Chain A
């Protein structure tokens, strides 16, 4: 296996306060990685700065040894569900078709083939009956499935997902994780910001523990240990573990 993503000494800040410092890690092809860490650890910022959506103050990020701008069509991104206005007047199928806009290109309109592709992606998410439903009338889980379907039609090689399981129902969680594992089994690389410590070991083969910098990164069995979690969460973990 070879590294498809290389992050080298990356730093990122909001206004003047530093959020991420000296971030270094490599991700291999065909892995499913969870980014885990406490609130404010910089998990979303990590993804955004890797994808040029948030400015890096220093450091390098490479995909297949190239800059993001050169290969961005091969990279899919699923933002947090709350980052868009679901009151926007459009239906589920239309949102999924947005995933194809990049390949359709400027000025051209989506055609029948694109419509079928989008429908297929909705079907794989169990959402075909909601294709023509207004997105404002979908439940949180259904909205998240639409977002994932939109990323799937892109047919990317690397996927970044920001908290795809936040506030979704059990059925949606099951469908989403199944889909991500299938992507990995087909050789795609998937990186997920994950917030539920109890399910990390069941879902992911790799874990990146983050708190302003990388605390540990590697195979789940090696990294997801009490020692490392205490290092990542500090005092907050004791409370978490007691709850469990």
Chain B
């Protein structure tokens, strides 16, 4: 008898331990490990991010150091990826640009994801007048011309930044440069504030059709609160479309950043971003093709990886695809 009880006790303990680790994401990860392309993409993305973050510390040339004696040089032992039209080291600019681009991609997407998913889920789930009101607001923002909207946001926030700076200086005597850092944060905010609209629409549509499903009725009949239904039952069910749309949003956001920087609203030289580098490179495509080639390659590689990762995640998140 004795050994039997201990062994059943052990299995129970094992079960409990297994329980604690069980979650949608853990299951998804177990499933995604089997998808080679997705895992490879994760590795590629990790390598690109890590080199962008830590790479610049090991470089001889800084991204802003100009050298007019070495303008638009081809790749050499000294400048591995050549120099741009002001003689700045291209490798250093690409890595630094990677920081900015990846950050914009991640932060702006996260902003749009959070707002969009919550907004869409609430609108779709509550329905009725609230839904109508919320979606009309989305329509109105949608209807605003994007550039004007962003310029407006930027101007307002620039003033606010200066105001904060002055206030800090006067009341605490702190000298800060809020306004200049503000620019970058603003860029994230502005892009996120525009990108969430589509996400909200997609999620609302999905939730509207899910809401009619019997399992949501079953949840209500079991006495679950709205909050619990939204976070535990609705959102996991819309993760598939969300993930796919997110992987499309990240590149879109990076391109938007390039566009805004081109207008003089986003990243300003001597800072760099991939969008900016590609734009500059395309202007000198015939004389110095490497200026376009390398940032373009890196950008494409990142976008490809994101797409494969998105596909893999979508499949992994759906329990029906598992074959174990």
| Same assembly | no
Task: Please report B residues at the A interface, Cβ cutoff 8 Å.
Answer: none
